[in-house]
Structure 1
Amino acid sequence: MTTNAVSQLVAEGVGIVRQGRAILSHVSLAATPGRLLVLVGPNGAGKSTLLGALAGRIRPDAGYVTLDALPLTAWEPRALARRRAMLSQRVDLAFGFTAREVVMLGRSPHVPDAVRDEAITVAALRAAHAWELRDRRYTALSGGEQQRVQLARVLAQIWQGGSQGAWLLLDEPEAGLDIAHQHFILRRARACAAMGLGVIAVLHDLNLAARYADEVAVLAGGALLRHGAPGDALDTALLSEIYGIPLGRSFGIDVA
């Protein structure tokens, strides 16, 4: 994977309205490569909407998002796809593809090169710890195994994202997984950041955010309330207020 710290993904005054309701209001946020930024907040806070805007899947009604100072709307779609990939909560495939074939789909934005594409597919499968699944039918895999294959697919998509870096966006990647797979996915996200990727993840589990994030952005009611190191952003008084329950130091309900 190639990257350069020059790259930056920036939301500037982003506002998004749906059916007359503000989903996001004047959100400004900058992310840089080599770090895992986690978005947290209660249901309806606007986390996934913000991630969609950062991915270029949702066009803001106000403000804008830039990648390397160029608005996402100005990027040619295939060029943008080579620079950023988004892993949704669940990806359903009804076809009888093998895991290797699913990962190879990630190479579609690139100019075909059989030797290079095969090498990157192998590397992505290994990076996602999915190599042993390569010849199995995707539909026969468990939820956790499918998520590992999908992680390999998006890694293959941005493996050579250009000299200015690539971005991995994860929308609740731990949803529906057992504890072991939740920690596995977050460890992989950390490893991707360590390799130089910019990684942004939406998480519901505050303890996972505290354990794995380099930075945390706290959203509520469509507004960005806090952005900083986990120890600063995950303030128990603030979190107790926005979640509406008293939270203790481990972010479980404080019954004392």
Structure 2
Amino acid sequence: MLQANNISYQIGSKSILRNCTIKLKPRTFTAIVGPNGAGKSTLLKAITNEVKLRNGSITVNGHSSSALDSKALSRIRAVMPQHTSINFPFSIEQIIEIGRFPHHTSPVENVEIIEKVIEKTRLQSYKGRTYQTLSGGEKQRVQLARIMAQVWDKSPHPKYLLLDEPTSDLDILHQHALLGTARELMSDNLGVLAVLHDLNLAAQYADYLVFMKNGEIVKQGETREVFTKENIETTFNHPVQMLEDPTTGQTIVVSIPNHMHLEPQKEIRYA
């Protein structure tokens, strides 16, 4: 299990995170949702040791993350940041190969893994392309392939994918493809933690939801329990309606424009 225990973070006198505790279990998908400035990405950075905590601790499979060296951590968890800047004319294969750096596998084995993740992320037609020539969404898919290559090796120990707004530059097709691929990887004793802006995507793919507001976790739990009108309106300060999708039977959220005033409807929950 990957766990953040009562962590807080501040810049100067400004508190950014306050007493946040979150658990990521293997074979589960957890999504962090909340308004802009809620602290979602900062929480992810805190979990990956990118920012120095005021208090609290991070443990990975029962070990303090601060006690593990960077290579050992890189073999356990892979991070896909919101934006990645690469200034060299690398091919997509070379970018994906970066994910193999923490491992001591042979070049032949690395090539096999790179080929597999290219197929998994539907990047076959982009082989040989220079990374800088890709669109934002195509770069996101290459970055997903990179972190997949990083945690591809079989291991008796749980591994984790940490994704910061991975669908932000993707169209509908590739949003579902990326999140569906992440869920498929969970079968290999892997846990997924993702910051998502689209509440309906979060509800469709996540087993657990974490609602954040003003640097605090205001609600968290199984999606079927916490994906409610009350929790969404409290978190986002905006009126919504919960509807049932006639095709899938899933509950979806629809935001209400400020100029409209609708009669309240009976809240719908997951069956």
Amino acid at match of 1:39: I
Greater mean deviation of Cα atoms: 177-186 or 61-70:
177-186
For residues 48 and 124 of structure 2, the distance between their equivalents in structure 1, rounded to whole angstroms, comes to 27
Q: Secondary structure at the match of 1:124?
A: helix
Query: Given the alignment of the two structures, is residue 69 of structure 1 paired with residue 71 of structure 2, yes or no?
Result: no
Aligned partner (choices 216, 219, 227) of residue 226 of structure 1: 219
Q: CA deviation at 1:15?
A: 0.8
**1:146-167 residue CA offsets vs partner (Å, 9 max, x unmatched):** 2111111111112127421211
Amino acid at match of 1:200: L
Aligned partner (choices 39, 45, 53) of residue 46 of structure 1: 39
1:144-155 mapped onto 2 (5 Å cutoff): 144-155=137-148
Amino acid at match of 1:78: K
Structure number with larger C-alpha Rg: 2
For residues 161 and 65 of structure 1, the distance between their equivalents in structure 2, rounded to whole angstroms, comes to 24
Contact 1:38 1:203 in 2 (8 A): yes
| Alignment gaps of 5+ in structure 2 | 243-251, 263-271
Identity %: 35
Amino acid at match of 1:179: I
Aligned partner (choices 170, 173, 185) of residue 180 of structure 1: 173
Greater mean deviation of Cα atoms: 147-156 or 187-196:
187-196
Q: Secondary structure at the match of 1:44?
A: coil
For residues 48 and 199 of structure 1, the distance between their equivalents in structure 2, rounded to whole angstroms, comes to 15
Greater mean deviation of Cα atoms: 215-224 or 129-138:
129-138
**1:202-224 residue CA offsets vs partner (Å, 9 max, x unmatched):** 00111111111111111111111
Contact 1:83 1:161 in 2 (8 A): no
**1:51-73 residue CA offsets vs partner (Å, 9 max, x unmatched):** 11222222321110000111111
For residues 51 and 227 of structure 2, the distance between their equivalents in structure 1, rounded to whole angstroms, comes to 27
* Map of 1:251 onto structure 2: 253
* Map of 2:80 onto structure 1: 87
For residues 118 and 25 of structure 2, the distance between their equivalents in structure 1, rounded to whole angstroms, comes to 25
For residues 97 and 127 of structure 2, the distance between their equivalents in structure 1, rounded to whole angstroms, comes to 11
For residues 84 and 120 of structure 1, the distance between their equivalents in structure 2, rounded to whole angstroms, comes to 17
Query: Given the alignment of the two structures, is residue 26 of structure 1 paired with residue 19 of structure 2, yes or no?
Result: yes
Contact 1:104 1:153 in 2 (8 A): yes
Structure 1 residues 200 and 115, CA, compared in 2 at 3 Å: closer, same or farther?
A: same
Amino acid at match of 2:66: T
Structure 1 residues 162 and 58, CA, compared in 2 at 3 Å: closer, same or farther?
A: farther
Amino acid at match of 1:156: A
* Map of 1:59 onto structure 2: 52
Contact 1:38 1:213 in 2 (8 A): yes
**1:216-251 residue CA offsets vs partner (Å, 9 max, x unmatched):** 111111111221121222221121122111011132
Q: CA deviation at 1:112?
A: 4.9
* TM superposition score normalised by structure 1: 0.92
Q: Which structure ranks higher in relative contact order (CA pairs < 8 Å, sequence separation ≥ 6)? A: 1
Contact 1:83 1:162 in 2 (8 A): no
Amino acid at match of 1:17: Q
Matched pairs, number: 249
For residues 161 and 9 of structure 1, the distance between their equivalents in structure 2, rounded to whole angstroms, comes to 18
